[in-house]
Amino acid sequence: MEQNMKNTEKRILQKILKSMSHYKWEIGGITLCYLIVTATSFLSPILIAQITDKGMLQKNMQMILTFSLLLLGFAAVEQLIGIGESRLFLRIRNHIRLQFGADVFEKLLKIKYSYYKESNSNEILERITTDVDRVSMVADRGIMYLVQFVLRIISGFIGLCYISWKLTLVVILIIPIKFGLAKLLSEKKKKKVGACITSSNQLSSWYGDMINGIREIRMWNLQYAKKEHYIKEQKKLLELEKDMEMTDAVNMSLDGFLEWLITCLLYLFGGYLVCTNGLTIGGVIAFISYSKYVTGPISALLDMKMIFAGILPSAVRLYSFLDDDEESGEGDPIRPEQFEEMEFENVSFAYEEKKILKQIHFKIKRGEKIAIIGKNGSGKTTLFQLLIRLLEPAEGMIRLNHKEISAYQIKDYRNLFGLVSQDVYLFADSIRDNISLGEKLEPDQMEEACKKSGLSEFVQSLPNGISQTIGKNGSKVSGGEKQKIALARALLKNRPIILLDEATSNMDVESDADFTRLIKEELKDKTILMITHRYTNLEGMDRIFELSEGRLVERGEEMHGKDRNH
Ligand SMILES: Nc1ncnc2c1ncn2[C@@H]1O[C@H](COP(=O)(O)OP(=O)(O)OP(=O)(O)O)[C@@H](O)[C@H]1O
């Protein structure tokens, strides 16, 4: 298990590094900047030593001025190059964010529909933004400085050995100590980041659920209980985050102490060498400056483990999401006019252990109208979801024109259907945009669709007419009006097969009667599959099926003319 995890992490690390390889030119530019900065900073301690030994100790103002100006010149070059390096770095960081963001968005559009049944939108959003943000940290300065660190360490060691190899041994002492600390703390941090991610996910899932259920919370006075729950869970999460951040704080403090330990040891031995004439005072000052070049980057280099410990749990989750199964999109093309018939052949379906549909068998030909009735939870909507390929049968086969539906290109296949459902989702746009779904339409086309769906009167009563915005998921319109918008959309799309899943469940009696008339007259050439609980809607249907205990049974004429709402 542990080994498996390690292999996954290794694979993911390779993937991350591969994604960085797209930015060869930028990384090359940054490396060049670092090379120049390394060269100038390599020379700076030598200049400081000259100011001390040849300038201050020999009271030579000319030397002090010359070397000070040189030092200032180097600093100016370093800062200018720093600006160029920042530009390149930000370019890489933005590209990486955009790349991950676009990959994730595309995946969300293609991932199997079941993914959305397991998590609410808040949870998905939180999970994705956290993971993308964390993984984008690979383009963090800390990691980008990797090359600079290595260069600094090499140049620093050359400088140190040049001044005194004995003192250099003191500096080398830092490596095993820092290595041991980084290993210990990074393992701890990885576990803590994992725990934080899990807990934060659970909280955002709960939070999303709470926002969606705000009406019920107010109606049933659940505010106090919900607030208590929130505080309890948020406290737990904050404790975990505190623990995680404490690991970084401990690491920083130990780093600081280690730095001072080395500095004190250098003063001790350096002071001894000055007293015994083994080294000049300027030499000791230069040595201590060089030692900072080496100890800082060594710490930072070994801290990479800590940075990756923060990134890896998110990277593992993000890449496993990106590897998740997608809807199969490729296949044969089909045009709407080519549709002849659809057939369910012994189709069975189960949600986990629960069998919903058992050996469903029926055929529908072009122009036929079929009604499906059945008790709540009998599986009617599930049957539609199988039809539009949101779900896949566990057994059996659904055929279109004698060919399994998965053999068709999904885009073409879905273009055969128009859907009006009981819980239609409307975007927070205008009524026009919700009906046209981005398609350019003539005003009279829109007007006709509104008239047929019974929406005209409502639209005329609005201050902005068809341009009126309707809020998140149509929060500013009624249930019946929502269904009429969905119906107008389906009419305009003019698809050969129309699926009506309790399409009039929220409509008034008059609108419901208009709808029945619409099916009989305007939609007489369309193939219609209608789920309904209202017997009045059965008028004009060619055949009626009842779904009961997972089985689909054809019912006869006795169903027509029954009272409303069975
Ligand atoms: N994602 C899911 N996981 C587990 N069970 C599910 C899931 N979705 C639906 N179900 C169950 O499957 C059964 C069929 O649901 P479906 O929505 O197809 O019924 P329906 O006939 O359309 O019901 P209604 O008339 O109430 O709209 C129900 O018992 C439901 O609880």
User: Which residue CA neighbors atom 17 of ligand 1 most closely?
Assistant: 381
Q: How far is the CA of 477 from the centre of ligand 1 (A)?
A: 26
The 10s digit of each residue's pLDDT in 141-154 is 666 677 777 877 88
Mean pLDDT of 21-40: 83
* Angle (CA) 270 273 278, round 5°: 130
Q: Percent of the chain, pLDDT > 70? A: 96
The 10s digit of each residue's pLDDT in 500-539 is 999 888 888 888 888 888 888 888 889 999 999 888 888 8
51-72 burial code (b ≥16 CB/10 A, e <16): bbbbbeeeeeeebbebbeebbe
Residue 365, strand partner residues: 341
Cβ atoms 521, 348 nearer than 8 A = no
Dihedral angle at the C-alpha atoms of 119, 124, 127, 133, nearest 10 degrees? 170
Mean pLDDT of 321-350: 91
User: Which residue CA neighbors atom 16 of ligand 1 most closely?
Assistant: 379
User: Which residue CA neighbors atom 7 of ligand 1 most closely?
Assistant: 351
The domain made up of 336-416+495-555 is a member of CATH 1.10.3720.10: no
Q: How far is the CA of 148 from the centre of ligand 1 (A)?
A: 59
Structure tokens at 52: 């001390």
Pocket test for ligand 1, best of 378, 383, 390, 534 (most atoms within 8 A of CB): 378
**Residue 272 in this model has a pLDDT that exceeds 50:** yes
Residue 471 CA to residue 76 CA, distance in Å, equals: 55
* Angle (CA) 541 545 550, round 5°: 155
Mean pLDDT of 74-83: 90
**Residue 233 in this model has a pLDDT that exceeds 60:** yes
**Residue 564 in this model has a pLDDT that exceeds 70:** no
Structure tokens at 274: 């000055």
The 10s digit of each residue's pLDDT in 295-318 is 888 888 888 878 888 888 888 888
- Edge-first strand listing for the sheet containing 354-365: 354-365, 341-351, 395-400, 403-404
Residue 159 CA to residue 169 CA, distance in Å, equals: 13
Q: How far is the CA of 395 from the centre of ligand 1 (A)?
A: 18
User: Which residue CA neighbors atom 28 of ligand 1 most closely?
Assistant: 377
Specify the ligand 1 atom closest to the Cα of 352.
Answer: 4
Helix (H, G, I), strand (E, B), or coil: what is residue 272? helix
Q: How far is the CA of 383 from the centre of ligand 1 (A)?
A: 10
Specify the ligand 1 atom closest to the Cα of 383.
Answer: 18
Residue 456 CA to residue 450 CA, distance in Å, equals: 5
Pocket of ligand 1 (CB under 6 A): 117, 351, 354, 356, 374, 376-382
Q: How far is the CA of 80 from the centre of ligand 1 (A)?
A: 64
Q: How far is the CA of 382 from the centre of ligand 1 (A)?
A: 7
User: Which residue CA neighbors atom 2 of ligand 1 most closely?
Assistant: 351
User: Which residue CA neighbors atom 29 of ligand 1 most closely?
Assistant: 377
- At residue 282, the pLDDT reads 82
Structure tokens at 510: 């008059």
Average model confidence (pLDDT) across the chain? 86
Residue 395, strand partner residues: 348
For the domain covering 1-163+306-327, report its CATH number.
Answer: 1.20.1560.10
The 10s digit of each residue's pLDDT in 234-262 is 999 999 999 989 988 998 898 888 888 88
User: Which residue CA neighbors atom 24 of ligand 1 most closely?
Assistant: 376
Tell me the backbone φ, ψ of residue 215, rounded to 5 degrees: -65, -45
CA-based nearest residue to 124, from 139, 137, 99, 107: 107
For CA atoms 315, 319, 324, 328, give the dihedral sign: positive
Pocket test for ligand 1, best of 354, 358, 546 (most atoms within 8 A of CB): 354
Q: How far is the CA of 264 from the centre of ligand 1 (A)?
A: 72
Confidence of residue 352 (pLDDT cuts 50, 70, 90): confident
Mean pLDDT of 439-468: 89
- At residue 520, the pLDDT reads 83
ipTM over 0.90: yes
Confidence of residue 566 (pLDDT cuts 50, 70, 90): very low
- At residue 30, the pLDDT reads 84
- At residue 236, the pLDDT reads 94
- At residue 267, the pLDDT reads 86
**Residue 271 in this model has a pLDDT that exceeds 80:** yes
Mean pLDDT of 474-478: 88
**Residue 176 in this model has a pLDDT that exceeds 70:** yes
Cβ atoms 190, 6 nearer than 8 A = no
| Of residues 63 and 560, more confidently modeled | 63
Q: Percent of the chain, pLDDT > 90? A: 34
The HSE-up count of residue 27 (CA atoms within 13 Å, CB side) is 17
CA-based nearest residue to 492, from 537, 544, 441, 535: 441
Structure tokens at 206: 């709960």
Pocket test for ligand 1, best of 352, 382, 422 (most atoms within 8 A of CB): 382
Q: How far is the CA of 343 from the centre of ligand 1 (A)?
A: 22
Cβ atoms 532, 502 nearer than 8 A = yes
Structure tokens at 435: 């009906």
| Of residues 345 and 289, more confidently modeled | 345
- Alpha helices per DSSP H over 454-534: 456-461, 479-493, 509-521
Confidence of residue 115 (pLDDT cuts 50, 70, 90): confident
For the whole model, what pTM was predicted?
Answer: 0.75
Q: How far is the CA of 392 from the centre of ligand 1 (A)?
A: 15
Residue 5 CA to residue 507 CA, distance in Å, equals: 55
Confidence of residue 342 (pLDDT cuts 50, 70, 90): very high
User: Which residue CA neighbors atom 18 of ligand 1 most closely?
Assistant: 379
Question: How do the domains of the chain map onto residue ranges?
Answer: 1-163+306-327, 165-278, 336-416+495-555
Which are the contacts of 232, defined by CB distance < 8 A and separation ≥ 6? none
- At residue 497, the pLDDT reads 96
